[in-house]
Homo-oligomer: A and B are copies of this chain.
Amino acid sequence: MFNVDKIRQDFPMLQGKTNEGKPLIYLDNGATTLKPNSVIEAVTNYYQNITSNINRGDYKLAYLVDQAYEKTREVVADFINCQSKEVVFTYGTTHSLNQIAYGYGLNNLKENDEILITVAEHASNTLPWYQLAAITKAKVKFIPLDKTGKITVENVRKMLNENVKIVSIAQVSNVLGCISDVKAIAREVHKFNAVLVVDGAQSVPHIKTDVKDLDCDFLVFSAHKMCGPTAVGVMYGKYHLLEKMMPLMLGGGMNLHFDTDFNVKLKAVPYKFEAGTSNIEAVLGLKAAIKYLKEIGMDNIANYEKQLKDYTISELKKLDNVIVYNPEADIGIISFNVLDKGKIIFGQDVASYLSKHGLCLRSGNHCAKNLWQYLAVDSTVRCALYFYNTKEEVDKLIEVLKTTTLENCVDVIL
């Protein structure tokens, strides 16, 4: 049984902390998430009991850490349903996407080839493709969103042609919160022998993920958005694709051999992508995070979040002074603005006012700087829920939003 009160006990950040002197209400889960005790313990256990670099052969301590590190690959593989050798540890979603653009893109794209993305993509799923296009003279094109902000299979189909080599989309947009039908999109993309890259930064933490079922070619995500430590992420790729890719970074740990005649022999996948000392303690923390999420159950998490999201949207809709941009969101990411005398109050002013009441929400374009084309505003306030948020926290948000006027926003500095 899903018991939010019990769950909240697991999070030190939810034990009476404050923001500007008021009880902390953390609604910025799209940016990063809070960490449960088990994750914190996994990291500190590395520091306190098993510090050493991973390196299998030499002494017991290092061997044990290495085993725990490698075990995480299995845990991730089980979590997203792939083989463990298809799990590459990166420093985050951004690193993963750059690795794919560089490692797959440079070898496979040529002039006039096409890369399809959308205007809703995060900067990290946009700029690496711009760069790849600039180098290879390929073109980046935008799959149009439908009026609810979704990527429909029809729109993907319309954009596909034999020049398309890569399609890269978020499974869930970090501003619009809708779930793309990745499975159906993959089917279309594969008809043209293109590869489908899925930015799972906002989906993997919230809904059950099965890469076999989705049949995407790559899936990337960050631990810190799913109760794990910062600066560790995953690049899943189908093995035969990973095999042919060049690493973005070279160095220690990813080569078997090199010599002064410039012969270089790289390790096998996934190791060849993990140059330098990996984020060992964070990988161990990711393992604990996945264990934690699985114990609660991804379906329970998704159900609870859906209820809370529905409640939040219905309450927001009751407010005259709030516009919700994505009332049909599938996931607990709600983008809105507050009006005063019919004029939008600048998002940062609203966020500052909310902060004064303990509420932590983010304003801005949320790194999706092309999205104004769809939203017709270039900045919103975002309420991003996670499974530890409560109805009471949402009620507090609603209550404060009711009093959000330009005057009150000014008053915070008087």
Q: Does A217 contact B (CB under 8 A)?
A: no
Residues of chain B lying within 8 A (CB to CB) of residue A127: 250-251, 255, 258, 264, 275
Place the interface of chain A in its size category: 35 or more
Task: Say how far A93's CB is from chain B's closest CB, in angstroms.
Answer: 7
A26, A126, A127, A369 interface centre (most CB from chain B within 10 Å):
A127
Report the separation of the CA atoms of residues A277 and B96 in the bound assembly, to the nearest whole angstrom.
Answer: 12
Which of A43-51, A79-87, A310-318, A403-411 is the contact stretch?
A: A43-51
Task: Say how far A127's CB is from chain B's closest CB, in angstroms.
Answer: 4
Q: Which residue on B lies nearest to A246, using beta carbons?
A: B131
Q: Which residue on B lies nearest to A58, using beta carbons?
A: B351
Q: Are B362 and A251 in contact (CB under 8 A)?
A: no
- Contact A131/B53 with A19-B59, A260-B370 known, Cβ cut-off 8 Å: no
Q: Are A362 and B55 in contact (CB under 8 A)?
A: yes
The residues in A between 31 and 66 inclusive whose CB is less than 8 angstroms from any CB of B are: 31-35, 39-40, 43-44, 47-49, 51-53, 55, 57-62
Q: Which of B17, B232, B262, B369 contacts A258 (CB 8 A)?
A: B369
Task: Say how far A282's CB is from chain B's closest CB, in angstroms.
Answer: 6
Report the separation of the CA atoms of residues A47 and B229 in the bound assembly, to the nearest whole angstrom.
Answer: 9
By Cβ-Cβ distance, the 10 closest A-B pairs, closest first, are A94-B276, A124-B251, A231-B279, A127-B250, A59-B355, A94-B251, A31-B53, A12-B48, A252-B367, A58-B351
